[in-house]
Amino acid sequence: MTHFDHEEEFHSRDRKQFRKERKLAQNTDRSKFKKTDLENKIIETAHHLRRGRVVAISGEGAFIDFDGESVLCSLKGLMKKETAQVKNIIAVGDWVRCSDQGAIEQVEERTSTLARTDISGRKEQLIAVNVDQVLITASVVSPPLKPALVDRYLIAAEKGNIHPIIVINKIDLLNAASDEEQERYRNFLAAYIPLGLPILSLSSETKIGLEALRSLLQNKTSVFSGQSGVGKSSLLNACFGFELRTGELATKTSKGSHTTTTASLIRLPGGGYCVDTPGIRSFGVWDLTKTDVINHFTDFIPFAKECKYPDCIHINEPECAVMQALEAGTIAALRYESYVNLLEEIASGSQSKTWS
Ligand code: GDP
Ligand code: ZN
């Protein structure tokens, strides 16, 4: 062994010792803060990955918002990983981490999801994720109120851990509406207000109720859902001065485009985000079960306890206390119709193309 070798060995041992000590110090440091493996991973990667939020998804990738700057990033990195097997690798509202080359490398765990059954009826499609509230938007007269559709969204919100708010638009049309239409609106309120859900009646046309809507949206992530034509885009335009496309024409155009989903996340002036979903023309709750439906109709529960059969589903069983309450007017006809409609949907297995 030459002198040189000795010196090399000495230094190498020195380095080893140094590394050992550094590792030890790091370990004590880690245990001191009790960081989880996930947290450590995030800290390790944070310096070379940028955190952003998925604002829209297209055939080429996803548009990610980095502090107000929108960049088209690729899904290639994610595809390579085993997560590629999982449907809905990313969805509008996801928080992701991207490399400098514009590849999405990580997707953060979701806190909530709004899902529906896709067009084939066999797959789950995520409309938006990490949202605080869903604005279940309906309208009076044109299109008319559809309680069963409202209940579908309510169930989807319950399943996805999202706070629901019912928004009834176009109340300006009530003045000139038929008695039947006016009664439908009154019956809807009478049936749904007792459920304790927030309900807003408004009009994007006359701007009634828009101030209340604006304040509900502030600093939250909200998704506007509901049948096409109820005025979701018009409401956003009226509240924030946006210029989102409205009316039938917009829906037709988006159908012909190459985007796989037309949902997009919009930053709101004054704080918060909002998801506009112009391309969603039908809505079926993903993986809807009889139990979901029964649990959702909490207003039936006190009566259901009195039914002759403990497994009564209140359709045609004898001595059914729910049906008796319906006849007595204690349970609203609108609620019962909606309940039957949902059970029929499960029975027929057609959980998607019910609404357009
Ligand atoms: P979306 O498909 O839910 O986004 O609905 P749009 O915003 O495209 O609106 C559909 C149609 O309803 C458009 O022709 C709007 O002008 C009309 N509309 C929207 N809000 C109101 C309203 O408050 N009153 C009336 N009378 N019409 C409205
Ligand atoms: Zn019963």
Q: 199-255: per-residue pLDDT in tens?
A: 999 999 999 999 999 999 999 999 999 888 899 989 999 999 888 877 754 444 444
pTM for the whole structure: 0.81
Q: Is the CB of 132 under 6 A from ligand 1?
A: no
Which residues crowd ion ligand 2, with CB under 5 Å? 307, 312, 314, 320, 322
The answer to the question of residue 259 being in a domain is yes
pLDDT of 177 over the 70 cut: yes
Is 216 in contact with 180 (CB distance < 8 Å)? no
Q: Are residues 67 and 177 in the same domain?
A: no
Could you say which of 250, 276, 302 is where a domain stops? 276
pLDDT at 207: 96
Mean pLDDT of 5-12: 52
Q: Are residues 145 and 219 in the same domain?
A: yes
Confidence of residue 25 (pLDDT cuts 50, 70, 90): low
Distance of CA 155 from the midpoint of ligand 2 (Å) = 21
The answer to the question of residue 153 being in a domain is yes
Tell me which residue has its CA closest to atom 6 in ligand 1.
231
pLDDT at 95: 96
Each residue's pLDDT tens digit, 123-154: 888 999 999 999 999 999 999 999 999 999 99
Lowest mean pLDDT among 24-33, 86-95, 111-120: 24-33
CATH at 186: 3.40.50.300
* Mutation to probe ligand 1, out of 137, 235, 246, 252 (largest number of atoms < 8 A from CB): 246
The answer to the question of residue 10 being in a domain is no
Q: Are residues 64 and 176 in the same domain?
A: no
The answer to the question of residue 6 being in a domain is no
Q: Are residues 176 and 99 in the same domain?
A: no
Q: Is the CB of 228 under 6 A from ligand 1?
A: yes
The answer to the question of residue 95 being in a domain is yes
Mean pLDDT of 93-102: 93
Distance of CA 287 from the midpoint of ligand 2 (Å) = 24
Which ligand has the nearest atom to the CA of 305?
Answer: 2
Q: Is the CB of 172 under 6 A from ligand 1?
A: yes
pLDDT at 257: 38
Tell me which residue has its CA closest to atom 24 in ligand 1.
170
Rounded distance, CA 33 to CA 304, Å?
Answer: 52
pLDDT of 323 over the 70 cut: yes
Distance of CA 348 from the midpoint of ligand 2 (Å) = 21
The answer to the question of residue 36 being in a domain is no
Closest residue by Cα to residue 54 from 76, 38, 70: 70
Could you say which of 109, 126, 159 is where a domain stops? 109
Residue 270 CB contacts under 8 Å (≥ 6 apart), including other chains:
218
Tell me which residue has its CA closest to atom 17 in ligand 1.
231
Confidence of residue 22 (pLDDT cuts 50, 70, 90): low
Question: Percentage of the chain with pLDDT > 70?
Answer: 78
Q: Are residues 52 and 123 in the same domain?
A: no
Mean pLDDT of 180-198: 94
The range of the structural domain enclosing residue 201 comes to 117-276
Q: Is the CB of 170 under 6 A from ligand 1?
A: yes
The answer to the question of residue 245 being in a domain is yes
Q: Are residues 256 and 167 in the same domain?
A: yes
Q: Are residues 57 and 167 in the same domain?
A: no
**Phi then psi for 257, rounded to 5 degrees?**
-80, 170
Q: Are residues 236 and 265 in the same domain?
A: yes
pLDDT at 314: 96
Q: Is the CB of 247 under 6 A from ligand 1?
A: yes
Q: Is the CB of 229 under 6 A from ligand 1?
A: yes
Q: What is the largest CA-CA distance in the chain?
A: 106
Distance of CA 64 from the midpoint of ligand 1 (Å) = 29
Each residue's pLDDT tens digit, 277-315: 876 677 888 889 999 999 999 999 999 999 999 999 999
Q: Are residues 137 and 210 in the same domain?
A: yes
Mean pLDDT of the chain: 83
Q: Which residue has the higher pLDDT, 45 or 90?
A: 90
CATH at 294: 1.10.40.50
Q: Is the CB of 97 under 6 A from ligand 1?
A: no
Lowest mean pLDDT among 15-24, 95-104, 160-169: 15-24
344-350 long-range CB contacts below 8 Å, 24 or more apart?
A: 345/284, 345/288, 346/288, 346/289, 346/290, 346/293, 349/121, 350/121, 350/284
Q: Are residues 164 and 91 in the same domain?
A: no
pLDDT at 120: 80
Could you say which of 221, 253, 276 is where a domain stops? 276
Distance of CA 247 from the midpoint of ligand 1 (Å) = 6
Q: Is the CB of 142 under 6 A from ligand 1?
A: no
Q: Are residues 299 and 266 in the same domain?
A: no
Q: Are residues 198 and 57 in the same domain?
A: no
306-312 long-range CB contacts below 8 Å, 24 or more apart?
A: none
CATH at 55: 2.40.50.140
Which ligand has the nearest atom to the CA of 171?
Answer: 1
Mean pLDDT of 173-200: 94
Q: Which residue has the higher pLDDT, 291 or 9?
A: 291
How many domains does one find in the chain? 3
